[in-house]
Structure 1
Amino acid sequence: MEFVIVWTMVELLLALILVVATAFISAVFFEAYRRKNNNSHVEAPAIFEDPNSLKQVPCPSIFDPAEKYLSLIVPAFNEELRLPGALDETMNYLQQRAAKDKSFTYEVVIVDDGSVDGTKRVAFEFVKKYSVDNVRIILLGRNHGKGEAIRKGMLHSRGELLLMLDADGATKVNDVEKLEKQIHAVAEQDKFRDSSAGNSSFRISDIPIAAFGSRAHLEGKALATRKWYRNFLMKGFHLVVLLAAGPGIRDTQCGFKMFTRAAARKLFTNIRLNRWCFDVEVVYLCKWFKIPMLEISVSWSEIPGSKVNPLSIPNMLWELVLMSVGYRTGMWKIRS
Structure 2
Amino acid sequence: MDGSWGFFPPVVSVYALLSSLALLVMLSISAFFLEFARKIGCRQSRDHSSGVASFFEDPNSLKKVPCPSIFDPAERYISLIVPAFNEEHRLSGALVETINYLQERAQLDSSFSYEVIIVDDGSTDRTSKVAFDFVRKHTIDKVRVILLGGNHGKGEAIRKGMLHSRGELLLMLDADGATQITDLQKLESRICEFAEKELKSPLLSGQGLKISDVSVAAFGSRAHLEKQALATRKWYRNFLMKGFHLVVLLTAGSGIRDTQCGFKMFTRTAARRLFTNVRLKRWCFDVELVYLCKHLKIPMIEISVSWSEIPGSKIRLTSILHMLFELVLIRVGYGLGIWKIRP
The two structures share one fold, judged by TM-score above 0.5: yes
- Equivalent residue number for residue 35 of structure 1: 40
> Relative to structure 1, is the Cα distance of residues 224 and 296 closer, same or farther in structure 2, using a 3 angstrom cutoff?
farther
- The answer to whether the Cα contact below 8 Å between 2:115 and 2:144 also exists between their aligned partners in 1 is yes
> Relative to structure 1, is the Cα distance of residues 33 and 109 closer, same or farther in structure 2, using a 3 angstrom cutoff?
same
> Which letter does structure 2 place at the counterpart of 1:239?
L
CA shift at 1:6, angstroms? 4.5
2:22 alignment partner, SS class = helix
- Equivalent residue number for residue 16 of structure 1: 21
CA shift at 1:5, angstroms? 4.6
1:287 alignment partner, SS class = helix
CA shift at 1:222, angstroms? 5.7
CA shift at 1:52, angstroms? 1.0
Worse-matched range after superposition: 87-96 or 3-12: 3-12
Task: Find 1:262's aligned residue among 253, 266, 269.
Answer: 269
For residues 231 and 100 of structure 2, the distance between their equivalents in structure 1, rounded to whole angstroms, comes to: 25
Deviation by residue 1:41-70 (Cα, 9 ceiling, x = unmatched) = 344211001111232111100000000001
- Equivalent residue number for residue 281 of structure 2: 274
CA shift at 1:302, angstroms? 1.1
> Relative to structure 1, is the Cα distance of residues 126 and 183 closer, same or farther in structure 2, using a 3 angstrom cutoff?
same
- Equivalent residue number for residue 333 of structure 1: 340
Task: Find 2:30's aligned residue among 25, 44, 57.
Answer: 25
- Equivalent residue number for residue 123 of structure 1: 131
For residues 232 and 73 of structure 2, the distance between their equivalents in structure 1, rounded to whole angstroms, comes to: 42
- Equivalent residue number for residue 324 of structure 1: 331
- Equivalent residue number for residue 284 of structure 1: 291
- The answer to whether the Cα contact below 8 Å between 1:70 and 1:163 also exists between their aligned partners in 2 is yes
Deviation by residue 1:106-140 (Cα, 9 ceiling, x = unmatched) = 00000000000000000001111111000000000
> Which letter does structure 2 place at the counterpart of 1:314?
L
Matches within 5 A, 1:75-224: 75-194=83-202, 198-221=205-228
Gaps of 5+ in 1: none
- The answer to whether the Cα contact below 8 Å between 1:47 and 1:59 also exists between their aligned partners in 2 is yes
- Structure number with bigger Rg: 2
> Relative to structure 1, is the Cα distance of residues 327 and 170 closer, same or farther in structure 2, using a 3 angstrom cutoff?
same
CA shift at 1:231, angstroms? 2.3
> Relative to structure 1, is the Cα distance of residues 197 and 327 closer, same or farther in structure 2, using a 3 angstrom cutoff?
closer
CA shift at 1:227, angstroms? 4.4
> Relative to structure 1, is the Cα distance of residues 280 and 201 closer, same or farther in structure 2, using a 3 angstrom cutoff?
same
> Relative to structure 1, is the Cα distance of residues 53 and 197 closer, same or farther in structure 2, using a 3 angstrom cutoff?
closer
For residues 222 and 294 of structure 2, the distance between their equivalents in structure 1, rounded to whole angstroms, comes to: 21
Is 1:53 the counterpart of 2:53? The answer is no
Is 1:234 the counterpart of 2:275? The answer is no
Is 1:73 the counterpart of 2:78? The answer is no
User: How large is the Cα RMSD of the aligned pairs?
Assistant: 1.9
Task: Provide TM-score, normalisation by structure 1.
Answer: 0.95
> Relative to structure 1, is the Cα distance of residues 252 and 7 closer, same or farther in structure 2, using a 3 angstrom cutoff?
same
> Which letter does structure 1 place at the counterpart of 2:91?
L
> Relative to structure 1, is the Cα distance of residues 116 and 329 closer, same or farther in structure 2, using a 3 angstrom cutoff?
same
Identical residues among aligned pairs (%): 66
Gaps of 5+ in 2: none
> Relative to structure 1, is the Cα distance of residues 226 and 107 closer, same or farther in structure 2, using a 3 angstrom cutoff?
farther
> Relative to structure 1, is the Cα distance of residues 191 and 225 closer, same or farther in structure 2, using a 3 angstrom cutoff?
farther
For residues 152 and 214 of structure 1, the distance between their equivalents in structure 2, rounded to whole angstroms, comes to: 23
Aligned residues: 335
For residues 228 and 28 of structure 2, the distance between their equivalents in structure 1, rounded to whole angstroms, comes to: 43
For residues 223 and 137 of structure 1, the distance between their equivalents in structure 2, rounded to whole angstroms, comes to: 37
Task: Provide TM-score, normalisation by structure 2.
Answer: 0.93
- The answer to whether the Cα contact below 8 Å between 1:230 and 1:309 also exists between their aligned partners in 2 is no
- The answer to whether the Cα contact below 8 Å between 1:224 and 1:301 also exists between their aligned partners in 2 is no
For residues 182 and 207 of structure 2, the distance between their equivalents in structure 1, rounded to whole angstroms, comes to: 31
Worse-matched range after superposition: 323-332 or 31-40: 31-40
Deviation by residue 1:202-243 (Cα, 9 ceiling, x = unmatched) = 311111100000000111126994444432221111111111
- The answer to whether the Cα contact below 8 Å between 1:229 and 1:310 also exists between their aligned partners in 2 is no
> Relative to structure 1, is the Cα distance of residues 172 and 226 closer, same or farther in structure 2, using a 3 angstrom cutoff?
farther
